[in-house]
Amino acid sequence: MNSNADRSSPPEVLVFVGGTAILPDRLLADAVVICRDGWIESIGQSQPIPEASQVVDLGGNYLSPGFVDLHVHGGDGADFMDGDEEAVRTAATAHLRGGTTTLLPTSTTGSPQRIHRMIDACESISRESSEQFTATSPQDRSAVLPHVPGIHLYGPFFADGKTGCHDRDARRDPEPDEYRSYFDRDFVRVATCAAELPGAESFYRLAAAHECLITCGHSNSSWTEMQAAFDAGMRHVDHFWCAMSSVPSLRARFQVPMQASMTEFVLMNEEMSTEVIADGCHLAPELLEFAYRMKGPERLCLVTDANRAYGMPPGEYVFGHRESGCHFFSDANVGWTLDRTSLASSVQGMHHMVSHFAKVTSATLPDVIRMASLTPAQRVGIDAQTGSLTAGKRADLLVLDAGLQIQQIYVQGRQV
Protein backbone atom coordinates (compact mmCIF):
# COMPACT_ATOMS: atom_id res chain seq x y z
CA MET A 1 0.00 0.00 0.00
CA ASN A 2 1.17 3.50 -0.66
CA SER A 3 -0.15 7.02 -0.80
CA ASN A 4 1.01 10.16 -2.53
CA ALA A 5 0.76 12.86 0.14
CA ASP A 6 1.83 13.81 3.63
CA ARG A 7 -0.34 11.81 6.04
CA SER A 8 0.12 13.90 9.19
CA SER A 9 -3.04 15.92 8.54
CA PRO A 10 -6.27 15.05 6.75
CA PRO A 11 -6.17 16.03 3.07
CA GLU A 12 -9.11 17.68 1.39
CA VAL A 13 -9.78 14.53 -0.66
CA LEU A 14 -8.71 11.01 0.33
CA VAL A 15 -9.41 8.17 -2.12
CA PHE A 16 -9.08 4.43 -1.47
CA VAL A 17 -8.67 2.12 -4.46
CA GLY A 18 -7.51 -1.42 -5.23
CA GLY A 19 -9.32 -3.33 -2.52
CA THR A 20 -12.63 -4.66 -1.21
CA ALA A 21 -14.99 -2.48 0.83
CA ILE A 22 -16.87 -4.22 3.65
CA LEU A 23 -20.42 -2.90 3.53
CA PRO A 24 -23.11 -3.81 6.10
CA ASP A 25 -24.71 -6.38 3.81
CA ARG A 26 -22.06 -7.35 1.24
CA LEU A 27 -18.49 -7.11 0.01
CA LEU A 28 -17.77 -4.60 -2.75
CA ALA A 29 -14.76 -5.65 -4.80
CA ASP A 30 -12.64 -3.14 -6.73
CA ALA A 31 -14.08 -0.40 -4.57
CA VAL A 32 -13.38 3.28 -4.98
CA VAL A 33 -14.11 5.16 -1.75
CA ILE A 34 -13.84 8.93 -1.88
CA CYS A 35 -13.57 10.92 1.35
CA ARG A 36 -13.57 14.71 1.59
CA ASP A 37 -12.59 16.76 4.64
CA GLY A 38 -12.77 13.69 6.88
CA TRP A 39 -16.20 12.48 5.68
CA ILE A 40 -17.16 9.75 3.23
CA GLU A 41 -18.42 11.34 0.03
CA SER A 42 -19.12 8.35 -2.22
CA ILE A 43 -18.57 4.63 -2.67
CA GLY A 44 -18.60 2.76 -5.95
CA GLN A 45 -16.65 0.54 -8.32
CA SER A 46 -15.89 2.99 -11.10
CA GLN A 47 -15.71 6.65 -10.16
CA PRO A 48 -13.53 9.45 -11.45
CA ILE A 49 -10.84 10.35 -8.94
CA PRO A 50 -10.77 14.07 -8.13
CA GLU A 51 -7.60 15.94 -8.95
CA ALA A 52 -5.09 16.63 -6.17
CA SER A 53 -6.37 13.65 -4.17
CA GLN A 54 -4.37 11.56 -1.74
CA VAL A 55 -4.76 8.10 -3.26
CA VAL A 56 -4.33 5.06 -1.02
CA ASP A 57 -3.81 1.81 -2.90
CA LEU A 58 -5.26 -0.92 -0.68
CA GLY A 59 -3.18 -3.57 -2.42
CA GLY A 60 -6.00 -6.11 -2.41
CA ASN A 61 -6.81 -5.61 1.28
CA TYR A 62 -10.18 -4.87 2.88
CA LEU A 63 -11.50 -1.43 3.78
CA SER A 64 -13.66 -1.60 6.91
CA PRO A 65 -15.49 0.92 9.07
CA GLY A 66 -13.78 1.65 12.37
CA PHE A 67 -14.99 -0.36 15.34
CA VAL A 68 -17.43 0.93 17.98
CA ASP A 69 -17.04 -0.43 21.53
CA LEU A 70 -19.88 0.26 23.96
CA HIS A 71 -18.43 -1.74 26.87
CA VAL A 72 -14.77 -1.08 27.73
CA HIS A 73 -12.99 -0.28 31.00
CA GLY A 74 -9.36 0.45 30.19
CA GLY A 75 -6.07 -0.45 28.58
CA ASP A 76 -2.30 0.16 28.57
CA GLY A 77 -2.26 0.23 32.37
CA ALA A 78 -5.08 2.79 32.77
CA ASP A 79 -8.71 2.42 33.81
CA PHE A 80 -11.32 5.03 32.89
CA MET A 81 -12.32 5.01 36.59
CA ASP A 82 -8.90 6.39 37.50
CA GLY A 83 -10.73 9.63 36.84
CA ASP A 84 -8.05 11.81 35.28
CA GLU A 85 -7.55 12.96 31.71
CA GLU A 86 -4.24 11.17 31.22
CA ALA A 87 -5.77 7.81 32.17
CA VAL A 88 -8.70 8.32 29.80
CA ARG A 89 -6.36 9.40 27.01
CA THR A 90 -4.09 6.40 27.60
CA ALA A 91 -6.89 3.82 27.64
CA ALA A 92 -8.69 5.36 24.65
CA THR A 93 -5.50 5.44 22.60
CA ALA A 94 -4.81 1.80 23.47
CA HIS A 95 -8.11 0.75 21.94
CA LEU A 96 -7.60 2.91 18.87
CA ARG A 97 -4.59 0.70 18.22
CA GLY A 98 -7.03 -2.23 18.11
CA GLY A 99 -9.23 -0.54 15.54
CA THR A 100 -11.77 1.07 17.88
CA THR A 101 -12.42 4.55 16.48
CA THR A 102 -15.42 5.22 18.75
CA LEU A 103 -15.80 4.04 22.34
CA LEU A 104 -17.94 4.58 25.40
CA PRO A 105 -15.81 4.54 28.57
CA THR A 106 -17.46 2.24 31.09
CA SER A 107 -17.74 2.79 34.83
CA THR A 108 -17.49 0.30 37.69
CA THR A 109 -18.90 0.07 41.22
CA GLY A 110 -17.12 3.17 42.49
CA SER A 111 -18.38 5.89 44.78
CA PRO A 112 -20.51 8.74 43.37
CA GLN A 113 -17.50 11.03 43.66
CA ARG A 114 -15.32 8.64 41.65
CA ILE A 115 -17.99 8.23 38.97
CA HIS A 116 -18.38 12.00 38.62
CA ARG A 117 -14.61 12.40 38.33
CA MET A 118 -14.61 9.71 35.64
CA ILE A 119 -17.33 11.59 33.74
CA ASP A 120 -15.38 14.86 34.12
CA ALA A 121 -12.25 13.31 32.59
CA CYS A 122 -14.17 11.58 29.79
CA GLU A 123 -16.01 14.77 28.86
CA SER A 124 -12.70 16.59 28.64
CA ILE A 125 -11.21 13.94 26.35
CA SER A 126 -14.42 13.93 24.30
CA ARG A 127 -13.95 17.65 23.64
CA GLU A 128 -10.29 17.08 22.85
CA SER A 129 -11.14 14.30 20.39
CA SER A 130 -13.59 16.63 18.61
CA GLU A 131 -11.29 19.63 18.55
CA GLN A 132 -8.39 17.65 17.05
CA PHE A 133 -10.16 17.79 13.68
CA THR A 134 -10.74 21.54 13.74
CA ALA A 135 -7.05 22.37 14.03
CA THR A 136 -5.65 24.11 10.96
CA SER A 137 -2.06 22.97 11.46
CA PRO A 138 -0.80 19.39 11.03
CA GLN A 139 -0.70 17.32 14.18
CA ASP A 140 1.32 14.36 15.30
CA ARG A 141 -0.49 11.22 14.18
CA SER A 142 0.32 9.51 17.49
CA ALA A 143 -1.86 12.10 19.26
CA VAL A 144 -5.05 11.22 17.36
CA LEU A 145 -7.83 10.06 19.69
CA PRO A 146 -10.92 7.94 19.06
CA HIS A 147 -14.33 9.57 19.32
CA VAL A 148 -15.90 9.56 22.81
CA PRO A 149 -19.62 10.39 22.36
CA GLY A 150 -20.49 9.61 25.99
CA ILE A 151 -20.04 7.07 28.76
CA HIS A 152 -21.58 3.75 29.70
CA LEU A 153 -22.91 4.05 33.27
CA TYR A 154 -22.28 0.41 34.14
CA GLY A 155 -21.63 0.21 37.86
CA PRO A 156 -22.65 0.63 40.65
CA PHE A 157 -26.24 -0.68 40.39
CA PHE A 158 -25.48 -4.42 40.38
CA ALA A 159 -27.19 -7.24 42.25
CA ASP A 160 -25.45 -8.56 45.34
CA GLY A 161 -23.80 -11.85 44.42
CA LYS A 162 -23.44 -10.85 40.75
CA THR A 163 -20.71 -8.24 41.01
CA GLY A 164 -18.04 -10.42 39.39
CA CYS A 165 -14.64 -8.72 39.49
CA HIS A 166 -16.18 -5.39 40.53
CA ASP A 167 -15.88 -4.24 44.15
CA ARG A 168 -18.83 -5.86 45.94
CA ASP A 169 -18.70 -3.38 48.81
CA ALA A 170 -19.24 -0.49 46.38
CA ARG A 171 -22.41 -1.89 44.72
CA ARG A 172 -25.70 -0.36 45.77
CA ASP A 173 -29.34 -0.03 44.86
CA PRO A 174 -30.31 2.88 42.59
CA GLU A 175 -31.25 6.07 44.45
CA PRO A 176 -32.89 8.86 42.44
CA ASP A 177 -30.71 11.67 43.78
CA GLU A 178 -27.57 9.80 42.77
CA TYR A 179 -28.45 8.58 39.30
CA ARG A 180 -30.26 11.81 38.42
CA SER A 181 -26.97 13.64 39.01
CA TYR A 182 -25.35 11.47 36.33
CA PHE A 183 -28.13 11.78 33.76
CA ASP A 184 -28.40 15.54 34.25
CA ARG A 185 -24.92 15.85 32.78
CA ASP A 186 -26.22 14.64 29.39
CA PHE A 187 -23.15 12.49 28.78
CA VAL A 188 -24.54 9.03 29.61
CA ARG A 189 -25.30 7.10 26.41
CA VAL A 190 -25.67 3.58 27.91
CA ALA A 191 -27.17 2.94 31.34
CA THR A 192 -27.05 -0.38 33.21
CA CYS A 193 -29.02 -1.52 36.26
CA ALA A 194 -29.92 -4.99 37.56
CA ALA A 195 -33.66 -5.41 36.94
CA GLU A 196 -34.50 -6.95 40.33
CA LEU A 197 -33.17 -4.06 42.41
CA PRO A 198 -35.68 -1.82 44.21
CA GLY A 199 -35.96 1.39 42.23
CA ALA A 200 -34.76 -0.17 38.96
CA GLU A 201 -37.89 0.75 37.00
CA SER A 202 -37.59 4.42 37.96
CA PHE A 203 -33.93 4.30 36.90
CA TYR A 204 -34.91 2.85 33.53
CA ARG A 205 -37.63 5.43 32.92
CA LEU A 206 -35.28 8.33 33.59
CA ALA A 207 -32.62 6.74 31.38
CA ALA A 208 -35.22 6.40 28.64
CA ALA A 209 -36.10 10.07 28.99
CA HIS A 210 -32.41 10.82 28.37
CA GLU A 211 -32.44 8.57 25.26
CA CYS A 212 -29.93 6.06 26.63
CA LEU A 213 -29.51 2.48 25.52
CA ILE A 214 -30.88 0.84 28.68
CA THR A 215 -29.31 -2.43 29.75
CA CYS A 216 -29.64 -5.07 32.44
CA GLY A 217 -26.39 -6.52 33.70
CA HIS A 218 -24.78 -8.20 36.69
CA SER A 219 -28.23 -9.44 37.58
CA ASN A 220 -30.07 -12.54 38.80
CA SER A 221 -33.42 -11.34 37.49
CA SER A 222 -36.35 -13.49 36.46
CA TRP A 223 -38.50 -13.30 33.33
CA THR A 224 -41.14 -11.35 35.29
CA GLU A 225 -38.56 -8.80 36.43
CA MET A 226 -37.13 -8.57 32.92
CA GLN A 227 -40.61 -7.93 31.53
CA ALA A 228 -41.13 -5.08 33.99
CA ALA A 229 -37.74 -3.68 32.98
CA PHE A 230 -38.65 -4.01 29.30
CA ASP A 231 -41.89 -2.14 29.89
CA ALA A 232 -39.82 0.65 31.46
CA GLY A 233 -37.47 0.88 28.46
CA MET A 234 -34.74 -1.76 28.93
CA ARG A 235 -33.63 -3.24 25.57
CA HIS A 236 -30.17 -4.76 26.04
CA VAL A 237 -28.32 -7.27 28.22
CA ASP A 238 -24.62 -6.92 28.99
CA HIS A 239 -22.08 -9.65 28.09
CA PHE A 240 -24.36 -12.61 27.39
CA TRP A 241 -23.98 -15.59 29.76
CA CYS A 242 -21.62 -13.65 32.02
CA ALA A 243 -22.83 -12.46 35.47
CA MET A 244 -26.45 -13.03 34.49
CA SER A 245 -29.29 -15.23 35.70
CA SER A 246 -30.03 -18.76 34.52
CA VAL A 247 -32.81 -21.24 35.23
CA PRO A 248 -30.66 -22.98 37.91
CA SER A 249 -29.73 -19.68 39.59
CA LEU A 250 -33.41 -18.71 39.75
CA ARG A 251 -34.29 -22.15 41.10
CA ALA A 252 -32.10 -21.35 44.09
CA ARG A 253 -33.74 -17.95 44.45
CA PHE A 254 -37.42 -18.82 43.94
CA GLN A 255 -37.56 -22.59 44.50
CA VAL A 256 -40.38 -24.14 42.41
CA PRO A 257 -41.73 -23.91 39.81
CA MET A 258 -38.52 -23.18 37.91
CA GLN A 259 -38.56 -19.80 36.21
CA ALA A 260 -37.26 -18.45 32.94
CA SER A 261 -34.16 -16.27 33.16
CA MET A 262 -32.51 -13.37 31.35
CA THR A 263 -31.25 -15.81 28.73
CA GLU A 264 -34.70 -16.97 27.71
CA PHE A 265 -36.10 -13.43 27.78
CA VAL A 266 -33.41 -12.13 25.42
CA LEU A 267 -33.74 -15.06 23.02
CA MET A 268 -37.55 -14.90 22.91
CA ASN A 269 -37.84 -11.12 22.49
CA GLU A 270 -36.90 -9.83 19.05
CA GLU A 271 -36.42 -6.27 20.30
CA MET A 272 -33.75 -7.28 22.81
CA SER A 273 -30.09 -7.01 21.88
CA THR A 274 -27.04 -8.33 23.66
CA GLU A 275 -23.27 -8.56 23.36
CA VAL A 276 -20.54 -11.17 23.53
CA ILE A 277 -16.90 -11.11 24.57
CA ALA A 278 -15.30 -13.10 21.73
CA ASP A 279 -11.82 -13.37 23.20
CA GLY A 280 -11.71 -17.18 23.05
CA CYS A 281 -11.68 -17.43 26.84
CA HIS A 282 -15.09 -16.23 27.99
CA LEU A 283 -17.27 -18.19 25.55
CA ALA A 284 -16.70 -21.39 23.57
CA PRO A 285 -17.19 -21.29 19.78
CA GLU A 286 -20.56 -23.03 19.99
CA LEU A 287 -21.90 -20.30 22.29
CA LEU A 288 -20.71 -17.59 19.90
CA GLU A 289 -22.34 -19.47 17.03
CA PHE A 290 -25.55 -19.91 19.04
CA ALA A 291 -25.73 -16.20 19.89
CA TYR A 292 -25.13 -15.25 16.25
CA ARG A 293 -27.81 -17.58 14.92
CA MET A 294 -30.38 -16.71 17.57
CA LYS A 295 -30.03 -12.90 17.62
CA GLY A 296 -28.50 -12.17 14.22
CA PRO A 297 -26.07 -9.37 13.33
CA GLU A 298 -28.70 -6.66 13.86
CA ARG A 299 -29.09 -7.49 17.57
CA LEU A 300 -25.70 -8.90 18.56
CA CYS A 301 -22.73 -6.66 19.38
CA LEU A 302 -19.08 -7.50 19.86
CA VAL A 303 -17.52 -5.77 22.88
CA THR A 304 -14.12 -5.98 24.51
CA ASP A 305 -15.03 -5.44 28.20
CA ALA A 306 -11.28 -4.87 28.37
CA ASN A 307 -9.56 -3.74 31.55
CA ARG A 308 -6.29 -1.90 32.22
CA ALA A 309 -4.26 -5.07 31.52
CA TYR A 310 -5.01 -4.85 27.79
CA GLY A 311 -1.71 -4.20 26.05
CA MET A 312 0.26 -5.01 29.22
CA PRO A 313 2.42 -8.00 30.23
CA PRO A 314 1.10 -10.77 32.50
CA GLY A 315 0.80 -9.78 36.14
CA GLU A 316 -1.41 -8.45 38.90
CA TYR A 317 -3.53 -5.37 38.21
CA VAL A 318 -6.40 -3.37 39.72
CA PHE A 319 -9.89 -3.35 38.21
CA GLY A 320 -11.49 0.05 38.66
CA HIS A 321 -9.83 3.00 40.36
CA ARG A 322 -6.12 2.44 40.86
CA GLU A 323 -6.40 3.02 44.63
CA SER A 324 -9.77 1.52 45.54
CA GLY A 325 -10.47 -1.16 42.95
CA CYS A 326 -10.18 -4.94 43.18
CA HIS A 327 -7.00 -6.83 42.35
CA PHE A 328 -6.97 -9.42 39.57
CA PHE A 329 -4.42 -11.37 37.56
CA SER A 330 -3.86 -11.21 33.80
CA ASP A 331 -2.18 -14.08 31.97
CA ALA A 332 -2.15 -11.87 28.81
CA ASN A 333 -5.04 -13.93 27.39
CA VAL A 334 -7.77 -13.05 29.90
CA GLY A 335 -8.23 -11.63 33.39
CA TRP A 336 -8.69 -13.91 36.42
CA THR A 337 -9.61 -13.40 40.04
CA LEU A 338 -6.54 -13.80 42.23
CA ASP A 339 -7.58 -17.32 43.25
CA ARG A 340 -7.86 -18.22 39.52
CA THR A 341 -11.42 -19.55 39.95
CA SER A 342 -13.35 -16.92 37.96
CA LEU A 343 -12.74 -14.75 34.94
CA ALA A 344 -12.15 -11.05 35.57
CA SER A 345 -12.87 -9.17 32.36
CA SER A 346 -10.99 -9.23 29.06
CA VAL A 347 -7.48 -8.15 28.14
CA GLN A 348 -8.00 -8.11 24.36
CA GLY A 349 -8.90 -5.42 21.84
CA MET A 350 -11.71 -5.35 19.29
CA HIS A 351 -9.43 -6.52 16.48
CA HIS A 352 -8.99 -9.77 18.40
CA MET A 353 -12.73 -10.15 18.98
CA VAL A 354 -13.43 -9.67 15.27
CA SER A 355 -10.80 -12.09 14.01
CA HIS A 356 -11.72 -14.78 16.55
CA PHE A 357 -15.45 -14.52 15.86
CA ALA A 358 -14.81 -14.74 12.12
CA LYS A 359 -12.57 -17.76 12.60
CA VAL A 360 -14.81 -19.92 14.81
CA THR A 361 -18.34 -19.12 13.60
CA SER A 362 -20.29 -19.28 10.35
CA ALA A 363 -20.82 -15.51 10.34
CA THR A 364 -20.08 -13.76 7.06
CA LEU A 365 -17.40 -11.08 7.04
CA PRO A 366 -19.95 -8.26 6.56
CA ASP A 367 -21.90 -9.61 9.55
CA VAL A 368 -18.82 -9.86 11.78
CA ILE A 369 -17.76 -6.30 10.94
CA ARG A 370 -21.33 -5.06 11.38
CA MET A 371 -21.47 -6.50 14.91
CA ALA A 372 -18.33 -4.53 15.79
CA SER A 373 -19.41 -1.28 14.12
CA LEU A 374 -22.89 -0.54 12.75
CA THR A 375 -24.93 -2.57 15.24
CA PRO A 376 -23.43 -0.98 18.38
CA ALA A 377 -23.60 2.44 16.68
CA GLN A 378 -27.30 1.90 15.99
CA ARG A 379 -28.00 0.72 19.52
CA VAL A 380 -26.59 3.94 21.01
CA GLY A 381 -28.02 6.22 18.33
CA ILE A 382 -24.81 7.43 16.67
CA ASP A 383 -25.16 5.54 13.37
CA ALA A 384 -25.82 8.75 11.42
CA GLN A 385 -22.18 9.69 12.07
CA THR A 386 -20.32 6.38 12.12
CA GLY A 387 -20.55 2.59 11.98
CA SER A 388 -20.50 1.82 8.25
CA LEU A 389 -18.97 2.76 4.92
CA THR A 390 -21.82 5.05 3.92
CA ALA A 391 -21.79 8.43 2.20
CA GLY A 392 -22.24 11.20 4.74
CA LYS A 393 -20.55 9.39 7.62
CA ARG A 394 -17.16 10.11 9.18
CA ALA A 395 -14.16 8.61 7.45
CA ASP A 396 -13.37 6.35 10.41
CA LEU A 397 -11.71 3.54 8.47
CA LEU A 398 -9.56 0.45 8.86
CA VAL A 399 -7.43 -1.32 6.29
CA LEU A 400 -7.48 -5.06 7.10
CA ASP A 401 -5.49 -7.84 5.47
CA ALA A 402 -6.84 -11.26 4.51
CA GLY A 403 -6.36 -12.45 8.10
CA LEU A 404 -8.26 -9.39 9.40
CA GLN A 405 -5.13 -7.91 10.92
CA ILE A 406 -5.06 -4.12 10.98
CA GLN A 407 -2.72 -2.48 8.46
CA GLN A 408 -3.87 1.14 8.67
CA ILE A 409 -6.24 3.17 10.85
CA TYR A 410 -7.97 6.43 9.89
CA VAL A 411 -9.97 8.62 12.27
CA GLN A 412 -12.08 11.14 10.38
CA GLY A 413 -9.71 10.91 7.44
CA ARG A 414 -6.54 11.31 9.48
CA GLN A 415 -4.20 8.32 9.49
CA VAL A 416 -3.14 7.21 12.94
Backbone angles phi and psi of 78, in degrees to 5: -120, 145
Q: What gap in Å lies between CA 51 and CA 178, rounded to an integer? A: 56
Count CA atoms closer than 13 A to 335's CA, side-chain side: 29
Q: Which of 167, 238, 305, 367 is catalytic?
A: 305
CA distances from 85 to 73, 121, 178, 302, 307 (A): 14, 5, 23, 26, 17
Residue 116 annotated as lining a ligand binding site: no
Q: What gap in Å lies between CA 40 and CA 34, rounded to an integer? A: 6
Count CA atoms closer than 13 A to 7's CA, side-chain side: 16
Helix axis angle for 223-231 and 200-209, nearest 10°, is 30
Task: Using the Cα atoms of residue 200, residue 205, residue 207 and residue 208 in order, give the sign of their dihedral.
Answer: positive
CA dihedral 329→326→317→310, nearest 10 degrees, is 80
Q: What gap in Å lies between CA 334 and CA 344, rounded to an integer? A: 7
- Antiparallel, parallel or unpaired: β 54-57 and 78-79: unpaired
Neighbours of 301 (CB within 10 A): 28
CA distances from 241 to 124, 245, 246, 264, 351 (A): 34, 8, 8, 11, 22
Sequence-ordered list of residues with C-beta below 8 angstroms from that of 364, at least 6 positions apart, any chain: none
Q: Are 143 and 97 in contact (CB under 8 A)?
A: no
Count CA atoms closer than 13 A to 411's CA, side-chain side: 29
Residue 71 annotated as lining a ligand binding site: no
Question: Is position 305 annotated as part of the catalytic site?
Answer: yes
Q: What gap in Å lies between CA 229 and CA 84, rounded to an integer? A: 34
Q: What gap in Å lies between CA 175 and CA 210, rounded to an integer? A: 17
Binding residues: 218, 239
Binding residues for Zn(2+): 218, 239
Which residues are catalytically annotated? 305
